[in-house]
Amino acid sequence: MNTKIERSALDAIGAESRRFIESSKGHYINGRWHRLGETFAIIDPSTELQIGQLYEADADTVEQAVAAASAAFEEGSAWRTIVPCEREILLHKLADAIAADRDTLADLIAIDLGLPKSAALAFEVAKVIDVFRYYAGFPSKITGETLDIDRAMGDAEFFAYTTHEPVGVVGAILPWNAPLLVGAWKIAPALAAGCTLVVKPAEDVSLVILRLAELASNAGLPDGVLNVVTGCGAVTGQALIENSGIDKFAFTGSTDIGKRIYKAAADRLVRVSLELGGKNPVIVLPDVDINAIAPALCMAAFANSGQICVSGSKVMAHASIAKDLVKAMASFAETLVPGSPFDTDTIMGPVCSKKQFDRVMAYIRQGEEEGTLVVAQQPPTSPGFFISPTIITELPPQSKLLHEEIFGPVITVETWTDERDVIQQVNRSAYGLCATIWGNHHGNVQRLAKRLRTGTVFINSPAFPPANIPTGGFRQSGVGRDLGRKGLEGFLEPKSVIARIN
């Protein structure tokens, strides 16, 4: 593996990005920065060097943040009572601020996560702007309805109507793999609905969410509406889960942590939306153009070093074309050389952390023992958590690589001959986040899409949901939906009003 790495990633970023990192601002609570708690290191995954520090919020600090969010929701010029057009204006101003700050935001994503800066600009930051613009259009369009009352209410006349009100204070717990983008999936609809938030970014990738909080304040968002606390899940995350002032949890992450949040929420009947794990099948029908789709299949699993919730890492190819497809995919994968996130030629950077590196490498070693590595690992020649694109075939059906979310640049390839077997296998999976189908016969593709029990089905396209399309999973892939109108509805409570008028 011939990686090209800057001596220090801090030397590769802009002056404002470096200033922000070195300022060690702390938590953002009620419109101010608070340096509270023990410090922990920010590690650049491309060099394994410490580039800064963050502070870990304990239960008391989390309580301050929740109290600030509650006050902003209930008291004074409460966020929930601000006229809808003002919320729309502020969300558009925030989208403008994100657009103006895109270079710094991309720097922070690249240095903290390892995503190539070019991809951070063209994909994550650009999509975040779309998300905020989309939800900025909703505040003035949140409506109810009027209803007639039947004779069961007596001979009196009544006027009845419904409204939708914000659910309250939202505790948003974010993943590290797409921090700004998934953060926007929670924050934008919550703000549009009139909710306030306490956001806990992942401890491995927190910088860009802290920057977003600063941008929101500069755009005019009232103090206390958006608060950010940093720290590890066992301390800060647990304190947020246990805080009685939270009215809804919005979480993206592992199924195991999602279940813990679900159980904690059940004790208080707190609302939840949980976007959890996935083992997303990519079903390739025999009539495809193999050479045309091979690059797309690879990038569906190798982009962001495979750290994608909707990663297409489980390729299920018809037996008649599987051998040629693997050959075409391998040929493309071998052109992907991991490198510095700040090299303009880099398509793949490192994985996020040493923990993730060790986890993915353990899967690869098991794959080497159980199957055939068509594209294998190259020995590292420099520091950093770099993993080469890997394709594994001929795994036994019970292999955990075929059933567990690897979350790294690893593709497994299985073969099939009977479409019914494919459908049964997908629908029996513990997960049901998404599936992808590649094929040229419209009727065959649509029939298969109808029978798959997954939250989203992508056809002849790598998996990525636009802002107006709801995304979420069946079974252990989650509860509720992000994005689209359904994503907004998750932050609203319906209320019915029945008034006697004579």
Q: What residues are labeled active site? A: 275, 309
Secondary structure (DSSP) of 312-361: --EEEEEHHHHHHHHHHHHHHHTT-----TTSTT-S----S-HHHHHHHH
Beta partners for residue 29, in sequence order: 32
Please give the Cα distance from 359 to 342 (Å, whole number). Answer: 25
Q: 280 phi and psi, to 5 degrees?
A: -90, 115
Please give the Cα distance from 92 to 96 (Å, whole number). Answer: 6
Per the CB < 8 A criterion, the answer to whether 261 and 185 are in contact is no
Tokens matching residue 419: 């479409």
Residue type, position 280, single letter:
N
Please give the Cα distance from 145 to 492 (Å, whole number). Answer: 15
Task: Determine the distance from the C-alpha atom of residue 478 to the mean position of all C-alpha atoms in its chain, rounded to a whole number.
Answer: 13
> To 5 degrees, how large is the angle CA 17–CA 20–CA 26?
150
Q: 416 phi and psi, to 5 degrees?
A: -150, 160
Of 262, 74, 87, which is closest to residue 168 (Cα–Cα)?
74
Please give the Cα distance from 273 to 128 (Å, whole number). Answer: 19
Q: Is the dihedral of CA 484, 295, 178, 260 positive or negative?
A: positive
Tokens matching residue 256: 């195991």
Please give the Cα distance from 149 to 147 (Å, whole number). Answer: 7
Per the CB < 8 A criterion, the answer to whether 487 and 134 are in contact is no
| Terminal Cα distance for the chain, rounded | 81
Please give the Cα distance from 490 to 73 (Å, whole number). Answer: 17
Please give the Cα distance from 311 to 16 (Å, whole number). Answer: 33
Per the CB < 8 A criterion, the answer to whether 58 and 65 are in contact is no
Question: Cα torsion at 43, 47, 51, 54 (round to 10°)?
Answer: -10
Per the CB < 8 A criterion, the answer to whether 360 and 351 are in contact is yes
Host H or E run for residue 27: strand 27-29
